[in-house]
Chain A
Amino acid sequence: MMRKALPFAAALVLALLPLGTNSTYLHHVMVLWMLYALLALSLNVIIGYLGELSFGHAAFFGLGAYASAILTMQTGLPVWLGLIAAGLVAGLFGFVIGYVSLRIVGPQFAILTLGFGSIIYTVTNYWDDLTRGPMGINNIPPLAVWGYGPLGEARDTYFVVLACVLAFAYACHALMRSRTGRAFLAVRENAPLAASLGIDVFRTKLLGFVAATVVAGIAGGLYAHYLRVITPELMSLQYMAALIIMVVVGGRGTVVGPILGALIYVVLLEVLRAFGPLRLIVFAALLTGSVIFVPHGLVSLWRPWRRRVDPAIRPELAP
């Protein structure tokens, strides 16, 4: 009984979290945490469930952000429709890019996605007429909820994004217990064997990839309407690396891992401000150390406990 109640208790704690403080700054950090958590959870579908490393995920986040910002500003579309459009645009690109690159596996796939991400970044940076280039877009309309009007405060946004995170986390959990989820794991562990069992490896991978990019696009839309300013830097190499760091340091292939990883990333960057110019060096050192000493992510530190809770989700087998 205890075990089944645990996720609900965690969700309740997350929902009550912003009520514990009146600090707008802390609320802002919490919103960033949830946005990154949503993004990291979506990347986790590719890294953790499909077993491929994508370096292009930040590009889909950026595509969603730009799609929603441009559509709502130029056509006067309501923000919630903009968010749906963000998901669709990112998903469409995800389909095309996945279709081309998922035929290739391993390091080549990682570099190919890096290439696609860089193309999208370069085009965004140079297509002045549409994206205003490096200056970025500002005055993006804020999030709005029916019967409530625009969400001005960070705390309100937190609840909206938290709802998305919880819904997607549940979806991931449900997926991994379904037939499709088992197909994902079979493809990850041994693609030729999976193919011999009648699983269409390419279609399974494409399905996971497109689903992940749709969610990344929606996260991008939420980000654009929350911060109300976006620049092409959203898709830079630094963000692409940061996303992977969140998933791997937290623990790939789990639901808790990416959410934890996003928290660590956001909190660490804030706390390390005290180090001044040394901040990024300390950050890189912590990252490298954690990858070398805890290769399966922080979640693996309490693996015995986790195995009892969720036998379906195992840490990745050694190659």
Chain B
Amino acid sequence: MTALQDKPAMPVEKASGSVVATLFRFQSVFGLLAVFVAAIIFSPRRDGAILFLSADNLANVVRAVSEIGIIAVGMTFVILIGGIDLSVGAVLGLAAVGSAVLMVESDWGFLPSIVVVLAIGLVFGALQGMATAMIGIQSFIVTLAGLQIARGLARIWSDGQGVAIAYGDGPNEAPSTFALLGERTFGGLVPIPVLIFAVVAIAAVVFLRISAFSRHLYAVGGNEKAARLSGVPVIRVKIAVFAICGLLASLAGIVHAVQLNQGSPNDGIGYELDAIAAVVIGGTSLAGGRGSVAGTVAGALLLGVLNNILALNNIDSNIQLLIKGLVIVAAAALQRLRPAS
């Protein structure tokens, strides 16, 4: 690890560099463009129309990406400080169960349910942050345990059963306000979950650009010891980052429940790996200190477009896995070639 001053003291997006550096910095954006163009070329056609480009299909792509995208934004923060969060899929399941149980079985209102579920994710994340920052357990281990705990809590809370969500004003019905979260807007074209994802992503980008916190974030990820010596409140930064990640996983769980009309304790199995994949493709270094939310968003969209075009062409599901694996390796390999600063 180099000394702190060798690392950009500001978000990487602002770091200046040569043309090559720029290319690498926006690796995932170019990757997304390439996959998008390939999707158009390889899209099945019906009556001369390119099916991939149909408004309905593009809406499906972004809708399917929104949950992983929301989680991946939180994961970016964690990975930026050199950590990892394996609990996000299980926290998503816990939040999906929580919103269903509170609104359907306990007949809570929309707002209190959402606030409590988000708070659960926030506190859960903060506790994991404390365990890793204050006790000094590696985040991989802490969140591996967190995964089991969140999954266990979800199973206990739901009695191990999926909790079906019906909408209405009666008892055992979720408020119709909740149903709106799963609807579409702008002429029935844009799913609300996509708007939520967009808001989260924009807020994260803005936050990283304007807050002093972001300097701390990159400093901790770049060189924790140097950051501590230069007065960065490392422990507070870590706790905050895991809290944000838990909060966003919870938000994704709420979106998940409303999209599927059910909260099941088995929801979100393996989602942590998809989120990590999006972050890696987005060019964020797993060693910490380098990367951007914009890259992650592009990475998530890239995976979404890839999933969609493979499915539209009915590529065998085993070969789909193979292709996705190769894309992740390719993205990581590009990282290694990237100039140091």
A complexed with B: no
A residues with CB within 8 A of B = none
